[in-house]
Structure 1
């Protein structure tokens, strides 16, 4: 199974194998190969070569894949579309299902206790979500960092994962220092292997994927022009 995420400056790809079905929870996956490059402006150039590299490293042909998983965001419009369109097209060409997962869960699922995740939303805002033992209970949402910190604090969150803390340290002063209270396994950016693990139950059950709907959380900057107003002479 191939999983990709382009919702942040990181362009990430992972090839995983599903483990045995558990009695509860998403179930384990076995990583076979993974690659990540952090470059916010080159997702379109990087993603296809990274997929080729990961498949070659694991000696897996595309025809041997069973499914694809992609991070749906939240994230910037252009980079997010790169991952979703690539995964959707690749899956369609191979006749495979393509499952979408909230990208913030690719960080939050690795946390324990009451934790938050904040990533860069640009415009001096953050995308954020709150988690209880790895399960999302708040968000996703987009807010100014101070407002996000208030909402996470009100939800009982006391530790923060993701790059948002380093980008806006003054806003998140009420939280433990970056990384404090978080396991070393918590990734800085959405981890495709975690997204694959979260989609595992649907994959094992053979459920038809939901439509891949990007999570933008903002209205588009570009809008259709309004008709010209009549002018009276």
Structure 2
């Protein structure tokens, strides 16, 4: 069973799809059969291969497709010429015609292979340039992110120092506040003691147990 892949199509995947599909067109097979073969080779579904071919890869190989169709017509023509509809055909005649057909087919396959390679190299050059620009863009973005990260680290260190200073100031103020509260509490106690002593000093008890104010 063909595995269903979720990753992006690579240039090698596109090349395999193009080569197999062109071969099936040249040999008179169906594109569905080509998509099934490609799916088995690269681990994708035939539907995914068909969608990739029609949406992207096919546009790059329009001339190669036309040439493959011409080769298919030539193949069918040579096959008809190789086996004419006559009652008696000698073995020697069939062998000679078949050899001629195979020779022409080999030459045609070499021509389409060279053409496919040239077009693939041109397509790959464009793809390579696009990838190079994309990589440069990613490198610039990465550099910007690194600079932004550096600035954030600097700000974080600065804020951490400010927080530490604020905490130190808070502890200092808190200690001063506690000290002030203690001083005020001690002052209140001293004031209360002085008032009691002052009250005691202004009154005295007589022999009958009554308090007598002293002017």
Shorter-normalised TM-score: what interval? under 0.3
Larger gyration radius, structure 1 or structure 2: 2
- TM-score when scaled to structure 2? 0.26
Richer in strand (by share): 1
Tell me the TM-score normalized by structure 1: 0.24
Bigger proportion of residues as helix: 2
